[in-house]
Chain A
Amino acid sequence: MKAGDIGGYRERLERTVFNPLTQTSVGFYLLVLVLLGVVGWGLYAYIVQLRFGLLATGLRDQVMWGVYILNFVFFLGIAMAGTVISAILRLTHAGWRTPITRMAEIITVAALMIGGLMPVIDMGRPERVWEIFVYGRFQSAIVWDILVITTYLIGSLIYLYLPLIPDFALMRDRLSDGASTIKRKVINLLALGWQNTVEQKHRLEKAIGIMAIAVVPMAVMTHTVASFIFAWMLRPGWDSTIYGIYFVVGALFSGLATVLIVMAITRRVFHLEEYITEKHFRYLSYLLLTSLLLYLYLVVTEFLAIGYKLKLEEKELLNLLFTGQAAPWFWFFIIAGFVIPAFLLVFRVGQTIHRIITAAIFINMAMWVSRLLIIVPTLQVPQISESLGVYTPSWVEWSITAAAFAGFILIFTVASKLIPLVSIWELAEDAETEAHSESTGEVAEAG
């Protein structure tokens, strides 16, 4: 890029990225209306559940956890997205991450909010949640979960906010015409008096650097502690030392897949084709393939270890998974989670983005099922009686699950109207550096 183009590039960038903030289409309102409808329906289902108790679910004494806990683990997994993309890639100086970091971070925040809500919905006595803060025992994984998830959420919010400051300043400078007083004041406040001075920039970079390092252990802890809810139990399949890393890698896997899907959608909807290019999809797909192989490795070692010994209850679990009631789900998980995506990611057949997105969609479906396979079949295995536990989610559970997904999309959609989905200042800075290095004769990495 020539130095002369920078001005034009920057102007175009601001125009494209600010466009959704200034103009709202009918489609947007329609989408929000539909999402609100689904969330409202979920709310109604929850009221039914409050009234009749958890009797309104398909849960019973033997299989006492179901889709709520499943969604909890699934959404926590998705929350890994932001950390991988924005923190780990920042720490490894992967320059190509810039246009996707903010989206990834929004996904993290939204997923943590929804995921953190699920255990409360699962409670028989939700009005007593406060007791955890008053009588909480550190011996219980739930207390750890609350600590870690709130820490991770706050950390992610800070990490989302910090790189937003210069963009808020830009909004203050560019978009204040015609905006309401309140909106102007809020943006003014959020911009924290940013004037783009060298000192401010230096401090911001430092703060972002610290948070990038801080959120990585937070993410690892979140998934590890979520796994403790299962790994600390004397149950077939759960009673395993592999669970911590198993959940971390699983989260990596589904988090990356989610980022890819969200990238593809926002790119199309907000016309970000110039900034989110095929290169980004390709690079992320390498990471996705790596995490696929890691996850496959863990799944194989896990099943090999228990399948070789065939302890009584674990044998029953394997029967259930491989050939029993859960077999359709299990083989769906294997085929949609590993076989199809591996084929799609390795062999370059067809259009790159379509190919990668198809893989990502399959992976996310498979990962939801994988959470189901972790929770339900283990609980179905009888501990003392002879009969398998039964579980069929009720309409209440499905409604709340649908509302959870709708809520997740809703948070993202609303965020896309309030903040720029792409970090303008960082992208402009990248372009300037690139132009600079080109003009001084250095060979710039050209994607």
Chain B
Amino acid sequence: MADKNKDLSRRGFIKKSLGLAGLLGVMSLPVPQLMKLRKDSIAGRGLTSKNPANQAQLEGKARAWGMVIDLKKCDGCVNIETPPQCTQACINGHYGPNGQQWIEVFEKELAGGGHYFMPVPCYQCENAPCANVCPVAATYHDEDGVVLVDHNRCIGCRMCMAACPYQRRFFNWGTPKLPAAAALTKYSPLYPVPAVKGTVIKCMFCAHFLHDGKLPYCVKGCPTKALYIGDLNEDIATNGAEVVQFSKFLDENSAYRYKEELGTQPRVWYLPGYGQLAGRTPRDHRPLMPPQWLWGDDDSNRCVGIWPWGEDF
């Protein structure tokens, strides 16, 4: 050892340290990030939305899941007098923690003073602000372009929640109270059940279903078939009743994306409307019904007492 140390010249030492530093640098890049770097260098960012076919050629069999929501068909389920069935199906299917609506229906104003209903899942943005800010790559794009959260890695800093301009991320503030069945489920980022305390959770397009040719809970649950899920690469989408050509469907129905100007490139498009195809009028004032949870209590309404010896804790 002593001899070796003598041989270690200054130049050699610098070389070795630089090599070690470089190695450490590469090692500090997490695996998904490395994969992403590789993918980016092949495909180039944001190409999918511009030229889906091109992307398919470049990336082989990778999917690019996207969603179209036809607002002409969405009546917020007020006609059938139930909570929005997309939200309800999602909650039931994912054992969603009480208070979290991964797909949430909002009431929005029309230009003339009436209003329409807008279901909002996670937009799975291509330039996702949430994935950009994550310090540990716990939230990332999978190879099909879905933004996932790894709940075994998430440190709970909530940078992604601050970054998301659509309020589409939720935090498990306490230990989620879930039905017993949830505990029997095998966790995966594609099906994050049971929810983990102290981590961020969100909609993931039910991507585990898509590969098996099944529809997401929300799409399947929608009674008016307003939600279409599809693959931008294959240029095809379906609501479970009909199959459409993705690009043509967007073009012919004046599709738009919410807050397009932010440049996040959502993979969810809206077709403007107010539920007319479901028999709703703009001035229909029947409100949305809140979804139901059969488990837990609404944590968002809970708060600790003023004193530690107070009611709650």
Contacts of B164 in A (CB 8 A): 383
CB neighbors of A among B196-211 (8 A): 197-200
Chain B contacts of A65 at CB under 8 A?
158, 162
Q: Closest 3 interchain pairs by CB?
A: A124-B156, A124-B198, A55-B174
Would you call A137 and B30 a contact (CB within 8 A)? yes
Is the beta-carbon distance between B199 and A124 smaller than 8 angstroms? Answer: yes
Point out the residue from A61, A119, A135, A382 that lies within 8 Å of B170, measured CB to CB: A61
Chain A, Cβ-Cβ closest to B198: A124
A193 interfacial by beta-carbon distance below 8 Å: no
> Could you list 17 A-B pairs, sorted by A, with CB under 8 Å?
A53-B173, A54-B171, A55-B304, A59-B173, A61-B161, A123-B156, A124-B198, A124-B200, A135-B28, A135-B136, A137-B134, A137-B135, A137-B137, A235-B162, A384-B166, A392-B303, A396-B308
Least CB distance, A188 to chain B, in whole angstroms: 30
Tell me the chain A residues, 30-55 only, with Cβ under 8 Å from chain B: 44-45, 48, 52-55
Contacts of A64 in B (CB 8 A): 158, 161-162, 171
Q: Which of B33, B175, B199, B299 makes the CB contact (< 8 A) with A137?
A: B33
Bound-state CA distance A384–B122 (Å) is 12
Interchain CB contact under 8 A, B136 and A232: no
Q: Is the CB of A55 within 8 A of B299?
A: yes
Asked whether B174 lies within 8 Å of A234 as measured between CB atoms, the reply is: no
- A229-B159 in contact (CB<8A): yes
Map CB proximity to B onto A378-415 as digits: 1 under 8 Å, 0 otherwise. 01001111100000101110000000000000000000
Nearest A-chain residue to B157, judged by Cβ: A123
CB A44 to nearest CB in B, in angstroms, measures 8
Q: Is the CB of A132 within 8 A of B135?
A: yes
The answer to whether A119 touches B157, judged by C-beta atoms less than 8 angstroms apart, is: yes
**B28 & A136 in contact (Cβ 8 Å cutoff):** yes
Q: How far is the CA of A153 from the CA of B137 in the complex (A)?
A: 26
Q: Is the CB of A233 within 8 A of B162?
A: yes
B166 & A56 in contact (Cβ 8 Å cutoff): no
Contact between B135 and A136, CB atoms less than 8 A apart:
yes
The answer for the CA separation of A124 and B165 in the assembled complex, in Å, is 21
Question: CA–CA, A130 to B28, complex, Å?
Answer: 12
Q: With the chains together, A235 CA to B130 CA distance in Å?
A: 13
Cβ contact within 8 Å between B162 and A62 = no
A60 to B135 alpha-carbon distance, docked (Å): 21
CB A377 to nearest CB in B, in angstroms, measures 14
Q: Say yes or no: A141 contacts B133, CB within 8 Å.
A: yes
Q: Within the assembled complex, what's the spacing in Å between the Cα atoms of A232 and B198?
A: 23
Cβ-closest chain A residue relative to B264:
A234
**Which B residues touch A55, using CB under 8 A?**
173-174, 299, 302, 304
In the complex, are the beta carbons of B137 and A54 less than 8 A apart?
no
Residues of A within 8 A of B168 (CB): 384
Q: Does B295 contact A (CB under 8 A)?
A: no
Taken together as a complex, chains A and B put the C-alpha atoms of A135 and B27 apart, in Å, by: 8
Q: Mark A142-169, 1 if CB is under 8 A from B, else 0.
A: 1100000000000000000000000000
CA distance A125 to B150 in the complex (A): 13
Complex Cα–Cα for A100 and B101 (A): 56
Query: Are A124 and B303 in contact, with the CB atoms below 8 A?
Result: no
Name the residue among A55, A123, A229 with the largest chain B CB count within 10 angstroms: A55
Q: In chain B, what residue has the closest Cβ to A132?
A: B135
B132 interfacial by beta-carbon distance below 8 Å: yes
Residues of chain A within 8 A of B153, CB atoms compared: 128, 131, 135
- Number of residues on chain A facing chain B (CB within 8 A): 52
Are A137 and B172 closer than 8 Å at their CB atoms?
A: no
Contacts of B174 in A (CB 8 A): 52-55
Set of chain A residues within 8 Å of B199, measured between Cβ atoms: 124-125
CA distance in complex: A128, B174 (Å): 17
Q: With both chains docked as a complex, state the minimum distance between the C-beta of A132 and any C-beta of chain B, in angstroms.
A: 5
Residues B133 and A53 in contact, CB atoms below 8 Å apart: no
- Chain B residues in 8 Å Cβ range of A235: 162, 165
User: Does the CB pair A136–B106 fall under 8 Å?
Assistant: no
Q: Once bound together, how far apart are the Cα atoms of A379 and B162, in whole Å?
A: 8
Tally of A-B Cβ pairs under 8 angstroms: 162
Partner of B197, one of A53, A119, A136, A230: A53
The answer to whether A131 touches B167, judged by C-beta atoms less than 8 angstroms apart, is no
Residues of B within 8 A of A44 (CB): 308
A382 to chain B, nearest CB (A): 7
A229 to B160 alpha-carbon distance, docked (Å): 11
A139 to B136, CA, bound (A): 10
Residue pair A385, B167 in contact (C-beta under 8 Å) = yes
CB neighbours of B93 from chain A (8 A): none
Q: Does A198 sit at the interface, judged by CB under 8 A?
A: no
Asked if A134 lies at the interface with its beta carbon under 8 angstroms from chain B, I say yes
Judge whether A301 is part of the interface by a CB distance below 8 angstroms.
no
A122 CB–B CB distance under 8 Å? yes
**Complex CA distance for A119 and B156, rounded to whole angstroms:** 10
Q: Mark A354-391, 1 if CB is under 8 A from B, else 0.
A: 00000000000000000000000001001111100000
A 210-237 contacts with B by CB, 8 A: 229-230, 232-235
| Contact across chains for A60 and B173 when beta carbons are under 8 A apart | yes
Least Cβ distance of A304 to chain B in Å?
A: 23
Within the assembled complex, what's the spacing in Å between the Cα atoms of A128 and B200?
14
Chain A residue numbers with a CB within 8 Å of B223 are none
Q: In the assembled complex, which residues on chain A have CB atoms less than 8 Å from the CB atom of B136? A: 128, 131-132, 135-137, 140
> Roughly how many angstroms separate A385 CA and B101 CA in the complex, as a whole number?
12
A384 to chain B, nearest CB (A): 5
- How many Å lie between the Cα of A122 and that of B162 in the bound state? 14
A129 interface residue (CB < 8 Å to B):
yes
Nearest opposing residue in chain B for A230, CB measure = B162
Return the contact of A124 from the options B135, B169, B172 (Cβ within 8 A): B172
Chain A contacts for B313, CB-based, 8 A? 48, 52, 56
Contacts A55-B174, A60-B300, A137-B137 known; A395 to B163 CB distance under 8 Å?
no
Q: Do B134 and A125 touch (CB < 8 A)?
A: no
Flag if B154 contacts A56 (CB, 8 Å). no
Instruction: Give chain B residues whose Cβ lies under 8 Å from the Cβ of A396.
Output: 304, 308
A54-B171, A62-B167, A384-B120 in contact; A395/B305 too (CB < 8 A)?
Answer: yes
Q: Which residues of chain B in 15-50 are interfacial with respect to chain A, using CB atoms and an 8 Å cutoff? A: 28-30, 33
Given contacts A64-B158, A234-B163, contact A143 B171 (CB under 8 A): no
B167 & A395 in contact (Cβ 8 Å cutoff): no
Closest beta carbon of chain B to A353's beta carbon, Å: 39
CA distance A229 to B157 in the complex (A): 11
B262 (CB) vs chain A CBs: closest residue: A234
- Please give the distance in Å from A286's CB to the nearest CB on chain B: 38
Contacts of B100 in A (CB 8 A): 61
Q: How far is the CA of A48 from the CA of B307 in the complex (A)?
A: 12
B14 within 8 A of A: no
Q: Report if B306 contacts A (CB, 8 A).
A: yes
CA distance A131 to B138 in the complex (A): 10
Do residues A142 and B197 form an inter-chain contact, with CB atoms below 8 A? no
Q: How far is the CA of A396 from the CA of B310 in the complex (A)?
A: 12
